[in-house]
Amino acid sequence: MPKLEIMFSENFFDLVLNFGDDWKVTNVELNTKKMEVDVYVEYQPYDKTIVNIYDSAPLRRWRHLDTMQYKTFINCRLPRVKDEFGKVTTLKAPWADTYQRHTYLFERLAIDILKGTKNQTKTAEILRCGFNVINKIIHSSVNRGLALRPKNFAYKHLSIDEKSFKKGHKYVTVLSSPIAGLVIDVAEDRNTESCKELLTKAISKENLSKVETVSMDMWKPYMNTVNSILPDSKIVHDRFHLVQYLNKAIDAVRRREVKQHELLKNSRYAFLKNPENLTEKQRIKFEEISNANYEISRAWRIKENFRAIFGCSSLIEASGLIIKWLTFVSNTNIKEMTKVSQIFKNHLPGVINAMIESFSNAMAERLNGKIQEVKSTGRGYRKFENFRSAILFFHGGLSLYPLSSQ
């Protein structure tokens, strides 16, 4: 017998597949042109008196792990058995879930490759399968992971953030745990109804009262929902978005002044970056503009004074410093900064809470960056369901692997 035929023999696959004593490899077909191996398995119970076999289901084919460079498939006509009441059911294959067309081990490999590539198309290319196969694996593994996630976990701190997922102002709402650094769940849209559904679905009724703080932007539907569903929790307007408001105002000042001052051309990033992140060229530009004492310089100092308030030790300290800051901004008469300070004044409790809480949406923003990576790597998502599953697959902290492969 040629060595290749010995390698792809029934005994070889019986040994390496090891589906159990009742499942036997009866035939192996090798197609060298397609570079495929078809392994045929039959149900041959040791004691046939225990199982009342009625007939066999149609032949099915499952994708398995490759054998060397050959794509390998398991083929079987699953037996149908009749119980004492005459009901006929199909026996479950030990190598795959009931409705799947790939084995547990193939799914586990696909999950490992997905974790490495973070790209469904690339994973499909590596495994030499269709994109839809990988997409189904993502959905099924996420559903499995969500089902296994503890239902009675009490979150003390939550973050709610929005994320665009396609053109046309289409958004999703992301609920995350800033302490655990994982996404709890994702809802379509960013309105009151979607936020309410997200909170009540992701957190058990008895644990809603245990939520102490919720970090979020100043988006009214989120605030209204939290006040309604979590009335005992504190709203914390996350620091990232607060500074983002100020940065946008600074840029607006720059765009207004650049029409009058040539020095302000090409200076945008010199005032939006943190000083320690400036390039040498940007640092020189920043110092030149600062010495000229334009309004943009004063606007930048307003932002830095605000950032200096972060980390207050008490509510009284934070309240006093914020009130002083609001007064200072009002006296500068810089209209763009005054507008932002009025927004902060209208949301004063949440802004003050941001000054004293030991955490903010920093972890949520890191997750937001990772979600953006998921979106960019996947080149956008047309369907919300696909975007949600991808987010939870990579950043939901879920147990993804099929149980029978662990």
- The string of pLDDT tens digits covering residues 24-42 is 999 999 999 999 999 999 9
Annotated domain spans of the chain: 3-95, 106-237+379-406, 239-356
Query: Given pLDDT bands bounded at 50, 70 and 90, which one contains residue 274?
Result: low
Task: Cite the DSSP H helix spans in 166-279.
Answer: 192-202, 205-208, 220-229, 239-257, 268-272
pLDDT score of 403: 81
Instruction: Enter the tokens of residue 283.
Output: 């640092």
The arithmetic mean of pLDDT across residues 134-150, rounded, is: 94
pTM of the model: 0.84
Q: Which residue has the higher pLDDT, 45 or 25?
A: 25
Instruction: Enter the tokens of residue 110.
Output: 């696909």
The whole-angstrom separation of Cα 138 and Cα 246 is: 39
What's the whole-number average pLDDT of the chain?
A: 87
The whole-angstrom separation of Cα 129 and Cα 36 is: 13
The whole-angstrom separation of Cα 316 and Cα 325 is: 14
SS3 state of residue 57 = coil
- The string of pLDDT tens digits covering residues 389-398 is 999 999 999 9
Instruction: Enter the tokens of residue 273.
Output: 């970056």
Q: In the sheet that 88-90 helps form, which strands lie side by side, from edge to edge? A: 53-56, 79-82, 88-90
Q: What percent of the chain has pLDDT over 90?
A: 56
Cα of 33 vs its chain's centroid, Å: 41
- Round the CA-based radius of gyration of the chain to a whole number and report it: 30
SS3 state of residue 129 = coil
The whole-angstrom separation of Cα 108 and Cα 97 is: 13
Query: Given pLDDT bands bounded at 50, 70 and 90, which one contains residue 360?
Result: low
**20: pLDDT strictly greater than 70:** yes
The arithmetic mean of pLDDT across residues 68-92, rounded, is: 91
Task: Give the least confident one: 139-143, 203-207, 323-327, 336-340.
Answer: 203-207
Q: Which residue has the higher pLDDT, 214 or 238?
A: 214
How long, in residues, is the chain? 406
Query: Given pLDDT bands bounded at 50, 70 and 90, which one contains residue 282?
Result: low
Query: Given pLDDT bands bounded at 50, 70 and 90, which one contains residue 380?
Result: low
- Beta strand 157-166 with 170-177 is antiparallel
Query: Given pLDDT bands bounded at 50, 70 and 90, which one contains residue 190?
Result: very high
The whole-angstrom separation of Cα 76 and Cα 107 is: 19
Nearest-5° angle of CA 198, CA 181, CA 227? 40
Instruction: Enter the tokens of residue 339.
Output: 């507008």
**138: pLDDT strictly greater than 50:** yes
pLDDT score of 368: 76
The arithmetic mean of pLDDT across residues 309-319, rounded, is: 91
Q: Which residue has the tokens 């090409």?
A: 266
Task: Give the least confident one: 205-214, 288-297, 313-322.
Answer: 288-297
The arithmetic mean of pLDDT across residues 39-64, rounded, is: 87
Q: Which residue has the higher pLDDT, 328 or 358?
A: 328
Instruction: Name the architecture of domain 106-237+379-406.
Output: 2-Layer Sandwich (3.30)
